[in-house]
Amino acid sequence: MSMPDYYQQPVAPPKKKSKALLIIGIVAAVLLVLCGGVAACIAVVGNAVNEAANDTGANNPGGGDGATTVGLNQPARDGKFEFTVTKVECGIPQVGSEFLNEKAQGQFCLVHVGVKNIGNEARMFTSSNQHAYNAAGQKYDADTGAAIYLEEDSSAFLEDINPGNSVKGVVVFDIPKGAKIVKLELHDSALSGGVIVNV
């Protein structure tokens, strides 16, 4: 008497599925996500660099030493702004009123400037991006605190300037007594090339 076939051949246990493919798939997905994130970061940085380069303006492509140089009452463009310096007053010991004022460490120089927005969106002029130089090449930063005490033109630069609009205001510098400002370096933003105004 012969035994049935199922008694003669043992049934093999089911093979376990390899986890190697699953692990490889997970690693590949993680690498894909990381590479995509790096590519996105590179694109964002590239766009920021291009925008900063465009803000420099066509008339001063190199920035710095290649910046446009003008004199008083001559307009010059940097980025989205057109600047016109009309007057520079120095030798001022104090700004403000009798009760609210600020005294200079040395002397205040008041730079009267017109700013026109030549861009396509509202933009704020920031006095902290503006600089002055003496004949020896020493660089002075604007005194934004003293500008608050100006009785006139004190709020012109505290608001956004819409495209096509112009404002007039005063940038204040506190420089040593006896020193003279020979040139100004005006900027649309901290990253722009700037324009030079000889005074």
Sequence ranges of the domains in the chain: 64-198
Tell me, what's the pLDDT at 98? 84
C-alpha separations of 149 from 72, 132, 144, 145 in Å: 25, 20, 10, 8
Token pair recorded at residue 22: 């699953």
Taking the model in full, what pTM does it have?
A: 0.66
Say if residues 96 and 137 touch (Cβ distance below 8 Å). Answer: no
Closest CA to 72 of 181, 176, 191, 162: 181
Q: What mean pLDDT is reported for the chain?
A: 79
Q: Which CATH entry fits the domain spanning 64-198: 3.40.50.1100, 2.60.40.1240, 1.10.10.10, 3.40.50.970?
A: 2.60.40.1240
Tell me, what's the pLDDT at 51? 44
∠ CA 103-73-194, rounded to 5° = 75
Q: What is the pLDDT of residues 35-63, one digit of tens each?
A: 554 444 444 334 443 344 444 443 433 34
Please report which confidence band the pLDDT of residue 99 belongs to, taking 50, 70 and 90 as the band edges: confident
Higher per-residue pLDDT: 90 or 66? 90
